[in-house]
Structure 1
């Protein structure tokens, strides 16, 4: 596969799995929940990435009241905020965030504000000024609401945005928003993103004269 070139007016960035590797924490916390619920942890791990916790719970336990899912989700979020052991940047993330500092961009994450702050801090990464977190939306990825709100906050048409994502739910949300998507990491490899990069080290960033960006993405 050859390098793919994309141009955009703005970039929308997922956090977990895209900028930050938090898999160790996520699996610790969700394994405990799965065992309490009598669910095989592997079933949880297969669908949890990229979405808010209550959405994962609802798929696994369709008869359970949503109020119980949201209450459990709040407990798990607090556990994840308190546990940052093993949280590290995705290779290339620090340099990538430096390269796009003057280019319109936003963080669009299924984490809440406290968790986003905790993980970006633990990974030593700069927090984007524009952030769409769990509190900002009424629906979890794969619903496109978060990405559409990110584009609106930046004042950019969805078609002029490129999303960086790692998960099936996130890539589906980007597509539903009418946006192109750079898939980052192993989870994204089989999901047919517009372009694929094993890590952010494989993404070259060039600012354009009109205030946008050109991306060269190498598989």
Structure 2
């Protein structure tokens, strides 16, 4: 894994790829409720399950935790959990600074790359009162969940950008691993990101200053 760069205070890019949960939207309350119930049904420790779940599609979490279980069972259960999550928006709020950040990058090439499916992503962005970026790469857009880099590589391709010219905003270990696998630099958002050596880390989006560059790129500076 690439080491952190303690002296780094800013990142420049031609395009940004944005995770959603934990990066733009705080959905931790819902995720914890749904996955603790799932853990209890499996006779598993809830904290252990929650240490794996962030950043991944649900069936990928299940495959990690129950490797002997048939994939079709995981996919079926994932659909049931997605239904639970879509019905529960209590406590879904924006990450501090998210609305202002999205407004600041409106003229910069950017895409959403999330492990949520389109319906859940739409509902959560609306519940948080945030602009829904386009293009958007959701669970339906990829054949493999983060930490596979497919979503970020497709996001860069949608924007017509080289991966090396992209900066990813992520909060989870799985997401940061996916970005690294895609050959991209990472701005880590929040406490979960710190353990995974992002190039630059901030507590939330209020700690980032956006400067749009004359060539259409962007500079992200830690406040």
Q: TM-score range by the shorter chain?
A: over 0.9
Structure 1, 115-124 or 28-37: larger mean CA deviation: 28-37
Q: Secondary structure at the match of 1:190?
A: helix
Answer yes or no: is 1:94 the counterpart of 2:93: no
Structure 1 segments of 4+ aligned residues over 2 angstroms from their partners: none
- TM-score relative to the length of structure 1: 0.98
Which of 190, 197, 203 lines up with 1:198 in the alignment? 203
Residues 173-207 of structure 1: CA deviation (Å, up to 9, x unaligned): 00000000000001011211000010000111011
Which of 76, 79, 85 lines up with 2:90 in the alignment? 85
Partner in structure 2 of residue 30 of structure 1: 35
Residues 76-102 of structure 1: CA deviation (Å, up to 9, x unaligned): 011101100000000000100000011
Structure 1, 152-161 or 36-45: larger mean CA deviation: 36-45
Within 2, Cα distance between the matches of 1:6 and 1:86?
A: 31
Kindly tell me the number of residue pairs found equivalent between the two proteins: 218
Structure 1 gaps of 5+ residues are none
Answer yes or no: is 1:74 the counterpart of 2:76: no
Which of 150, 157, 167 lines up with 1:162 in the alignment? 167
**What does 1:138-217 align with in structure 2 at a 5 Å threshold?**
138-217=143-222
Contact 1:3 1:216 in 2 (8 A): no
Displacement after TM superposition at 1:43 (Å)? 1.2
Structure 2 gaps of 5+ residues are 1-5
Q: Secondary structure at the match of 1:85?
A: coil
Contact 2:97 2:204 in 1 (8 A): yes
